[in-house]
């Protein structure tokens, strides 16, 4: 019986072993990458799904900490802005402040509009809310102040037909730079699509101190700007500039959720702090 040469078997064994080693190495790389991603994206929930722990309300005409008409509440794991205990809106704009300020981070908010607007709410506030970033401390707000000096990431819901963008920019007491130009308009539209009805929408804001700020939906940037700063022409901002010895650039500040007369619900508010070097 003829003897078969051993070399093909050895070659096959060596090539098979090589393939196994390559697959093992590839798997280790993928595992390291997955672990790196997991360690890099440790999102911190700011809303615990149970109560308003860590949050403080400030409503126009009321002292800090007074949750007038039970405006902000948690029900069934949802943070709600509700108006069922109001007779009419009466200019009672509200903001719910988180306890800790931030400067470099990614913020993710999941919201939806529901129900009918509070009686006598302003027309522009129909399906209108937002999250305020780079905001002033609520302790420095006037009792009758409607909005904190801040950068507003504006949330708008569609009326059922037509176009109405969300994740827009508004600037109460502030200004920003876009494409090298100091922006004067109070609000600037994003390039987002319109979200009609009561559907949930997730907005992410990527903030790098007093440098670039991006608004994102579904991972796509819908608005970008930079150099957020206090507006010396605004009376409330002017006081802050004086208290900060002339400093106008906004490197960080408070976060707050808005109540502007239309019921809105939040089921996720979470943050991913960024290292200063990641700018």
pLDDT digits (tens, 9 = 90+) for 99-131: 999 999 999 999 999 999 999 999 999 999 999
Mean pLDDT of 246-257: 98
Same domain for 11 and 59?
no
Any residues with CB less than 8 A from the CB of 169 and at least 6 apart, and which? 151, 152, 153, 154, 176, 187, 188, 190, 215, 223, 225
Predicted pLDDT at 253 = 98
* Cα 56 from Cα 148, distance rounded (Å): 13
Same domain for 19 and 94?
no
Same domain for 88 and 134?
yes
Q: CATH no. for residue 152?
A: 2.60.120.560
Q: Are the C-beta atoms of residues 104 and 273 closer than 8 Å to each other?
A: yes
Q: Which two tokens stand for residue 56?
A: 């403080």
pLDDT digits (tens, 9 = 90+) for 136-185: 999 999 999 999 999 999 999 999 999 999 999 999 999 999 999 998 88
Same domain for 101 and 30?
no
* Cα 210 from Cα 82, distance rounded (Å): 34
Same domain for 186 and 137?
yes
The yes-or-no verdict on residue 12 having pLDDT over 90 is no
Mean pLDDT of 190-217: 97
Q: Which two tokens stand for residue 229?
A: 């700063």
Predicted pLDDT at 206 = 98
Predicted pLDDT at 61 = 98
Report how far apart, in Å, the C-alpha atoms of 81 and of each of 37, 120, 257 are.
Answer: 34, 16, 9
Q: Are the C-beta atoms of residues 249 and 90 closer than 8 Å to each other?
A: no
**Region at 207 (left for phi over 0; alpha for psi -120 to 50; beta for the rest):** beta
The yes-or-no verdict on residue 273 having pLDDT over 50 is yes
pLDDT digits (tens, 9 = 90+) for 13-69: 545 555 544 455 555 655 455 444 444 679 999 999 999 999 999 999 999 999 999
The yes-or-no verdict on residue 279 having pLDDT over 50 is no
Same domain for 101 and 174?
yes
Same domain for 73 and 170?
yes
Domain count across the chain: 2
Predicted pLDDT at 170 = 98
Same domain for 238 and 200?
yes
- Indicate if the alpha-carbon torsion angle 211, 208, 112, 95 is positive or negative: negative
Same domain for 17 and 55?
no
CB-CB neighbours of 100 under 10 Å: 10
Same domain for 121 and 192?
yes
Any residues with CB less than 8 A from the CB of 152 and at least 6 apart, and which? 130, 131, 132, 133, 169, 170, 171, 172, 258
Same domain for 33 and 69?
no
Q: What is the separation of C-alpha 10 from the centre of its chain, rounded to a whole number of angstroms?
A: 60
CB-CB neighbours of 251 under 10 Å: 16
In this prediction the pTM is: 0.85
Number of DSSP helices (H) and strands (E) in the chain, helices first: 2, 17
What share of the chain in percent tops pLDDT 90? 82
**Using CB atoms within 10 A of its CB, is residue 262 exposed (0-12), middle (13-18) or buried (19+)?**
buried
The yes-or-no verdict on residue 7 having pLDDT over 90 is no
Predicted pLDDT at 17 = 53
Same domain for 27 and 66?
no
Range of the domain at 130: 44-278
Q: Which two tokens stand for residue 29?
A: 């790389």
Q: Are the C-beta atoms of residues 263 and 272 closer than 8 Å to each other?
A: no
Higher pLDDT among residues 14 and 82, named by residue: 82
């Amino acid at each position: 019986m003829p003897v078969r040469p051993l070399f093909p078997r050895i070659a096959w064994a060596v090539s098979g072993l090589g393939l196994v080693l390559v697959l093992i190495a590839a798997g280790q790389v993928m595992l390291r990458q997955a672990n790196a991603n997991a360690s890099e994206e440790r999102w911190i929930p700011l809303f615990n799904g149970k109560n308003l722990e860590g949050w403080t309300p400030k409503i126009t005409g009321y002292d800090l900490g007074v949750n007038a008409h039970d405006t902000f509440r948690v029900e069934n794991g949802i943070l709600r802005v509700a108006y069922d205990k109001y007779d009419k809106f009466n200019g009672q704009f509200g903001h719910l402040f988180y306890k800790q300020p931030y400067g470099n981070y990614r913020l993710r908010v999941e919201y939806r509009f529901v129900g009918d607007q509070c009686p006598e709410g302003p027309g522009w506030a129909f399906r209108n809310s937002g999250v305020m970033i780079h905001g002033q401390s609520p302790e420095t707000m006037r009792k009758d102040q409607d909005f904190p000096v801040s950068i507003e990431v504006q949330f708008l819901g569609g009326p059922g037909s037509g176009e109405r963008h969300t994740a827009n920019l508004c600037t109460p007491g502030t200004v920003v730079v876009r494409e090298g130009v100091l922006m004067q308009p109070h609000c600037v539209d994003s390039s987002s699509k319109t979200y009609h009805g009561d559907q949930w929408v997730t907005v992410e804001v990527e903030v790098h101190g007093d440098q670039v700020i991006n608004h994102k939906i579904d991972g796509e940037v819908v608005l970008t700007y930079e150099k957020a700063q206090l507006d010396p022409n605004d009376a409330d901002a002017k006081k802050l500039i004086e208290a900060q010895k002339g400093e106008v650039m906004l490197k960080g500040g408070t976060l707050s959720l808005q109540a502007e007369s239309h019921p809105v619900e939040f089921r996720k508010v979470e943050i991913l702090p960024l290292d200063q070097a990641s700018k």
